[in-house]
Structure 1
Amino acid sequence: MIRIATAQLWVHDQDEALKYWTDRVGFEVRSDVTVAEMGNFRWLTVGPPGQTDVAIVLMAIPGPPMVDPATDEQLRDLMGKGLAGTVFLTTDDCRRTHAELKERGVEFIGEPEEQLYGIDVGFRDPSGNNVRLSQLNADFG
């Protein structure tokens, strides 16, 4: 059986991303490992408490030789527009979770709204990644 273990978001600054995803969103650190043999590559993952079988990798944009300057610029531009990655989060009570996260400093794009599939609202992390928070109707969950 194949299962999803991790999904990845590009981040400008792993320390800033870690603080945001743990302090503001309320996720926990799953792994934070630096591999000296790979040029101090840092494998940093976070995930929601209670859902230990999946994590989000907060991946620093790699430099040369993996990414040339033009690609780096394109990636940063897409991130700034919220187009380089999206995470879809679900909750049992979108309005309550929205209020809790807002109180912790998460800046939302609008207010929770009724949609065909449930109640939904969005926010962006410090690197510009798009995040959707939804309370799904039974037909869509």
Structure 2
Amino acid sequence: MIQSIIHIALVVHDYDEAIAFYTQKLNFTLLEDTYQPEQDKRWVVISPPGSVGTTILLAKASKPEQEPFIGNQAGGRVFLFLNTDDFWRDYNEMVAKGIEFVREPKEQSYGIVAVFKDLYGNLWDLLQMNEDHPISKRIK
């Protein structure tokens, strides 16, 4: 059996501001932006540069009960983990583009990591895992 997670939904306030943030500040690729008239919503899919795995579905909050989850999808914990092949290149570029880091870079047993906020306040790890880490072997 082969299965995979293809999308993770990220609740956003506005499609266009989210697309702008992820494509301009984090260099993500906009893979799809399709209007769905029967539901009056858009199907918006983005992906980190060079990624061939799981993508992010930008899901605009459409009900009042969804609004509180914008920026707090993981209850204040790190929600998403952005792995890179060059931590310092990406960290320095993100800082130059005004990304707010709430935990500075730190060497860990598994690699280098720092925590940043997206435009809504969701916490992300930027990390470069050591080559001998089990996950590193899976993503190559």
Using structure 1 for the length normalisation, give the TM-score.
Answer: 0.82
Determine the C-alpha separation between the residues in 2 that align with 1:22 and 1:97: 14
Aligned residue in 1 for 2:72 = 78
Offset of residue 47 of structure 1: 0.5
Asked if 1:106 is matched to 2:99, the reply is yes
2:92 and 2:71 map into 1 onto residues whose CA distance is: 30
Aligned residues of 1:9 and 1:129 also touching (Cα < 8 A): no
| Deviating 4+ runs (over 6 angstroms) | none
Q: Which runs of 5+ in 2 are unaligned?
A: none
> Greater relative contact order: 1 or 2 (C-alpha under 8 angstroms, separation 6 or more)?
1
The count of aligned residue pairs is: 133
User: In 1, Cα distance between the equivalents of 2:74 and 2:109?
Assistant: 28
Q: Counterparts of 2:18 and 2:3 in 1: how far apart (Å)?
A: 29
Same amino acid, percent of matched pairs: 35
Unaligned runs of at least 5 residues, structure 1: 64-68
Determine which of 96, 100, 118 is the counterpart of 1:125.
118
Task: Supply the AA of the counterpart residue of 2:57.
Answer: V
1:66 paired residue number: none
Q: Does 1:61 align with 2:61?
A: yes
- 2:61 and 2:67 in contact (8 A); partners too: no
Instruction: Give distance in 2, aligned partners of 1:97 and 1:73.
Output: 30
3-state SS in 2 of match to 1:122? strand
Alignment of 1:1-141 (within 5 A): 1-38=2-39, 40-63=40-63, 69=64, 71-72=65-66, 74-76=68-70, 78-79=72-73, 82-83=76-77, 86-140=79-133, 141=136
* TM-score, normalisation: structure 2: 0.82
Distance apart, 1:101 and its partner CA: 1.4
Given the superposition, is the C-alpha separation of residues 80 and 87 from structure 1 closer, same or farther in structure 2, using an over 3 Å criterion?
closer
Deviations 1:26-70 (A, max 9, x none): 0010110111111x111111102322443111111121xxxxx4x
Looking at structure 2, the residues matched to 109 and 37 of structure 1 have their Cα atoms a distance apart, in angstroms, of: 40
Partners of 2:84 and 2:128 within 8 A in 1? yes
**CA spacing shift, 1:50–1:59, aligned 2, 3 Å:** same
Give the 3 Å change call, closer, same or farther, for CA 82–22 of structure 1 in structure 2: farther
More deviation in 15-24 or 109-118?
109-118
